[in-house]
A and B are shown apart, each in its own frame.
Chain A
Amino acid sequence: GAGVSQSPRYKVAKRGQDVALRCDPISGHVSLFWYQQALGQGPEFLTYFQNEAQLDKSGLPSDRFFAERPEGSVSTLKIQRTQQEDSAVYLCASSLTPGTGTLSNQPQHFGDGTRLSIL
């Protein structure tokens, strides 16, 4: 596709349910990022993939959060046993080159996000 696609756009779940959020990056993009954006705040880094390798997951708030990118393209962010504080917009971004090294200063292209509401 032309841009980063995220689905669903909106997700409402009851506290305790598991959810899965999908990100389709721009074709051929090596780097993929997940961010969490609480209401009225800037996005915060969750995790980074270079191809299928998850190189950094330091931003994941708890072990209930799990991300994967098994074939180096589509990525899924899974949240188990959701809690109300998980309510946020989850943004995915991709960039053409690896996130480190001399080619790392490439712009990140963002999806429209998934707005997650936990009741």
Chain B
Amino acid sequence: KNEVEQSPQNLTAQEGEFITINCSYSVGISALHWLQQHPGGGIVSLFMLSSGKKKHGRLIATINIQEKHSSLHITASHPRDSAVYICAVKSGGSNYKLTFGKGTLLTVNP
């Protein structure tokens, strides 16, 4: 079993829909990252959080440390949001390694 599990693996939505992507992890962590990867490989860091909730534009990320679970929400989705969204965790205060989920492929149709 992977240390980081994402669901769903693939998600197709219509423009304007509210999107939720989930991430569960099995280890104690110091931080959780949400990353966006467009075709061609480049990865952009969206959020880094260790508790609570963060918001940036139409993106919202939440984390529940007790339940070892995080969600990424996209409000009013747009075709340009189409990408792979990856959850990654850094375990422990002295561990620099990121462990990644397999990613969720999001396609938003116009």
Residues of A bordering B, CB below 8 Å:
31, 33, 35, 37, 40-45, 48, 56, 59, 89, 91, 93, 98-102, 104-105, 107-113, 115
Contacts and interface: CB of A to CB of B under 8 A. Distances in A.
Contacts, number: 71
Contact of B45 (A43, A45, A108): A108
B7 interface: no
Interface string B95-110: 1111111110000000
A48 B97 contact: yes
Contacts of A33: 96, 98
Interface stretch (B13-21, B35-43, B53-61, B64-72): B35-43
Contacts of B94: 100-101, 104
Interface centre among A42, A56, A107 (most CB of B within 10 A): A42
Contact of A42 (B44, B48, B86, B96): B86
Contact of A40 (B88, B101, B102): B102
